[in-house]
Chain A
Amino acid sequence: EAQVTQNPRYLITVTGKKLTVTCSQNMNHEYMSWYRQDPGLGLRQIYYSMNVEVTDKGDVPEGYKVSRKEKRNFPLILESPSPNQTSLYFCASSFGTSSGNTIYFGEGSWLTVV
């Protein structure tokens, strides 16, 4: 089954404690990205990756890091989480950026920073 898998699905953490949200896809997609979803703001792109070792900033990259060492994995790293990073996070993947390529989303990771 084609899927994008995120872990953890739910996490409550404290300010400043480093955390990593993992993302893995089994569709051999080149393109992967992270979004955050906040009420009234919709989906905003954090970082994206065109392929292994190729990453770039999206619209809201501050406070986040990513890496793409393997094609299937694209972890999101919060080095020092703050309460304004409390959000619902989605990992997504697709075959590329040509218009018409369907983007597949994971089921989301609810993160609360206290």
Chain B
Amino acid sequence: QQQVKQSPQSLIVQKGGISIINCAYENTAFDYFPWYQQFPGKGPALLIAIRPDVSEKKEGRFTISFNKSAKQFSLHIMDSQPGDSATYFCAATQGGSEKLVFGKGMKLTVNP
């Protein structure tokens, strides 16, 4: 049973465009939703994270939108750049849990 569903699996956008990655979760006990960015040949690294007490968090060109009632959250990359080309994983966890549940990842390609 997949607890965090991520879509799309891949995305190609032009430089300057907006990239949107969606995730849906099932466990209402989740209270922390990080996004990880993975470049080829590297391990995932924390990009941005949100808690369910806010509906949006912005850091530079990256914004997380959170819809608690729909149990969905999404990552928006504004003004996408070729350097943003990577695999993006959404994840979820709850305080005190040993488990960080990952989505299956989305490969983003930003064309120059």
* Chain A residues in the interface with B (C-beta under 8 A): 4, 31, 40-45, 48, 50, 56, 58, 90, 92, 97-100, 102-108
* Chain B residues in the interface with A (C-beta under 8 A): 6, 9, 31-32, 34, 41-46, 49, 51, 89, 93-100, 102-105
> Once the chains bind, are B98 and A107 in contact (CB under 8 Å)?
no
Q: Helix, strand, loop or mixed for chain B's interface? A: loop
> Once the chains bind, are A99 and B46 in contact (CB under 8 Å)?
no
User: With A and B bound together, what is the CA distance between A43 and B105 in angstroms?
Assistant: 8
For the complex with contacts A31-B98, A40-B9, A106-B43, 20 further pairs of A-B residues with Cβ separation under 8 Å are A42-B6, A42-B89, A42-B102, A42-B104, A43-B102, A44-B102, A48-B98, A48-B99, A50-B98, A90-B43, A90-B44, A92-B43, A97-B95, A97-B97, A99-B31, A99-B32, A100-B49, A103-B100, A107-B41, A108-B41
> Once the chains bind, are A105 and B44 in contact (CB under 8 Å)?
yes
User: With A and B bound together, what is the CA distance between A108 and B41 in angstroms?
Assistant: 8
A45: B residues at CB distance < 8 A: 99-100
11 A–B contacts, CB within 8 A, in A order? A4-B43, A42-B6, A42-B102, A45-B99, A45-B100, A97-B97, A99-B31, A99-B32, A99-B94, A107-B42, A108-B41
B46: A residues at CB distance < 8 A: 102-103
User: With A and B bound together, what is the CA distance between A43 and B3 in angstroms?
Assistant: 13
> Once the chains bind, are A56 and B44 in contact (CB under 8 Å)?
no
> Once the chains bind, are B42 and A108 in contact (CB under 8 Å)?
yes
A31: B residues at CB distance < 8 A: 98
> Once the chains bind, are B104 and A97 in contact (CB under 8 Å)?
no
A44: B residues at CB distance < 8 A: 102
Question: In the complex, how many angstroms separate the beta carbon of A40 from the nearest chain B beta carbon?
Answer: 6
> Once the chains bind, are A105 and B32 in contact (CB under 8 Å)?
no
Partner of A100, one of B6, B32, B103, B104: B32
> Once the chains bind, are B43 and A105 in contact (CB under 8 Å)?
yes
